[in-house]
A and B are shown apart, each in its own frame.
Chain A
């Protein structure tokens, strides 16, 4: 009886957890895309954006309604690229002068 109770509790907890996580809902997609766009804009303004970041956001937008999980994955990838581009730029900002022949 205890076993049955434990299993049912875990099952209920698992599914309610899934239901509460709104992964893949329209709110989440919009937020992921908006965040990616914001980061990309910053990288673009600083002239350090990577080549594919913009197209990832465009693809994410196109898939937002039909395939939200994919859209989020693409938006997150774009965010990662933009973040890395900005971090890379900040790092090389400190070192590029050492490359100039003296």
Chain B
């Protein structure tokens, strides 16, 4: 009898956990599906849908320079997914991918023992983990990013944490990303506070800001598939799959947060700090939007 009761209680606890998890996820899933559909429809046939999505792009340009229809996974290539001139340049650049040398450095750093003789492998036995980051840690009640995880591993092994955004940390993350290639992004929203963090990130993404009064959405959702001068605007869908990226502008590798902070600054807003709560929330939301997409980092961008 007691055994039966314990079994029933256990089943109830497990099923209620799943039920609550699903409820935390419900709005986010609705958002994600609408987000993905928006991009699929937008790039289904830009020539036919010109009036709705590309009213200011000349028809000739749509016919000549646009690649379509795009499928879900195609969006991993950023502006190269839809814009022929960018794709041609990208193909030339990637004959000798500029991220290869920093990626090799990352591999060396991964294997290089800390002062205590251990390596990063002591914290991450399998480096193919990037698909799960950033994740919401219920115990710590905060978002944990891949950069934080790398630095926490260093501190745990008596090393100093690395500076976020570029340099050594970007190289180590590049190695993790490389080993995670092909894995599908799998971000979860496991609690009420995780849901709050997701909603905060969503708001930061859609709300206009800065003296230019623009939002991430205006350039990378509504504006995706258009140009600012000669630059093709990348779609937000899939934008976290290729991170960290070697940006020609940077002349080196940079992490997702470096890019996000730079983008926020470009709106004319005060530049937030990397790993600050709002930036982590934005990364959490943005990565969730690409759930199910295969990783392909590190990669090259202009």
| A interface, CB within 8 angstroms of B | 44, 47-54, 81, 84-85, 88-89, 92-93, 96-97, 99-102
Contacts and interface: CB of A to CB of B under 8 A. Distances in A.
A51 B210 contact: yes
Nearest to A40: B270
Contacts of A48: 209, 269
B270 A49 contact: yes
B34 A51 contact: no
B270 A44 contact: yes
Interface in B35-51: 35, 37-38
Contact of A102 (B34, B211, B222): B34
Contacts of B215: 96, 99
A49 to B, nearest CB: 4
B187 interface: no
A93 B204 CA distance: 11
B265 A51 contact: yes
Contacts of A101: 31, 34-35, 37-38, 221
Given A48-B209, A50-B211, A101-B38, A96 B270 contact: no
Contacts, number: 59
Contacts of A102: 34
Pick the 6 closest A-B CB pairs, nearest first.
Answer: A101-B38, A96-B207, A49-B270, A101-B34, A99-B206, A96-B206
A83 B24 CA distance: 36
Interface in B1-51: 31, 34-35, 37-38
B272 A96 contact: no
8 contacts: A50-B268, A50-B270, A85-B211, A88-B208, A92-B209, A93-B207, A100-B34, A101-B34
Interface of B: 31, 34-35, 37-38, 202-204, 206-211, 213, 215, 217-218, 221-222, 265, 268-272, 278
A88 B204 CA distance: 14
A100 B278 CA distance: 19
Contacts of B221: 99, 101
A101 B205 CA distance: 12
A28 to B, nearest CB: 26
A24 to B, nearest CB: 28
Given A99-B217, A101-B221, A51 B207 contact: no
B75 to A, nearest CB: 14
Given A54-B270, A84-B211, 13 more contacts: A47-B204, A48-B209, A48-B269, A50-B210, A50-B268, A50-B269, A51-B211, A89-B207, A89-B209, A93-B207, A96-B203, A96-B215, A101-B35
A100 B213 contact: no
A87 to B, nearest CB: 11
